[in-house]
Structure 1
Amino acid sequence: MKYILFLLLTFPILASAQNTLSVEVQGVKNSEGNISVAVYKEAKGFLKFDQVYKSDSTQAKKGTTRLLIEDLPEGEYALAIFHDENGNNELDTNWLGIPKEDIGFSNARMKTFGPPSFKECSIPLHKSSEIKVILQ
């Protein structure tokens, strides 16, 4: 009886298991500023600041910088990452909207005439995983 009660009490915790996504960001030119990541769950709001599901940043490390994104339920996600060299917490662009700071995406690269789509960047997450993103 105690065992059944324990299972019933812990089932909601087990059913909503969370995952960690380890992101290895390669091609970091210097150790100035931060590496910032935005995690998106839906195509509708992809690359819109007010539609970010989760975000984080860490001190940039020349060469490779690692980020951990914790507490992600199973699902499909797309990541946008940039090297915020001046530490102003925003992606600096020129007057045409072209990024002045290095950027990268999960599972895709910047196109000649704009960023990739959510579908091109999406990665399925069913367990804790690791991905690599190359800044350009």
Structure 2
Amino acid sequence: MRCIFVLVFTLTIIFCGYAQENQLSVKVIGIPETKGNVSVAVYNTEDSFLKFEGVFKSDSILAKAGETTLHFKDLPIGEYALAVFYDANGNGKLDTNWLGIPKEKVGFSKARMRTFGPPTYKDCSFSHNGITKIEISL
């Protein structure tokens, strides 16, 4: 009986530890108001970066003034780059002007918009080693 208890206890500890692994938490700060959505796109290759069809994982959540946090569970260990935008009008897309410059707030992991365009994958990439917390300012 004691062996069964030890086995169940050990498996519970292992399972609980595994359940917390491979999670990416993204805190987005600088959200001007509680209106619209905050969308996060996770990219895992340089070739796919900032391409709609190249998104590895994505999520969107209702915006909350100040900051909003999104969680990606079961994200394999590896290198990633994030792109975030505040969809103020809730239309599900990043609105841009006729030059392609975003009208809505955007942010990236580890980088900011350049004077003449977005940062590169290399500028934004980070290593995810199990449990990672990223903070992105819009």
Gaps of 5+ in 2: 1-6, 8-17
CA distance in 1, matches of 2:83, 2:72: 13
- Whether 1:67 and 2:70 are equivalent positions in the alignment is yes
User: How many residues are aligned here?
Assistant: 124
- Whether 1:85 and 2:88 are equivalent positions in the alignment is yes
Give the partner amino acid of 2:48: G
Mapping of 1:11-22 within 5 angstroms? 19-22=22-25
Question: Residue 44 of structure 1 aligns with which residue?
Answer: 47
CA drift at 1:53: 0.2
- Cα distance change of structure 1 residues 18 and 51 upon mapping to structure 2, 3 Å threshold: farther
Question: Residue 101 of structure 2 aligns with which residue?
Answer: 98
TM-score w.r.t. the length of structure 1 is 0.86
Gaps of 5+ in 1: 4-13
CA distance in 2, matches of 1:22, 1:111: 25
Q: Percent identity?
A: 56
Per-residue CA deviations over 1:6-57 (Å, capped at 9, x if unaligned) read xxxxxxxx7xx95111111010011111000000000011000000000001
Q: Which has the larger radius of gyration?
A: 2
TM-score w.r.t. the length of structure 2 is 0.84
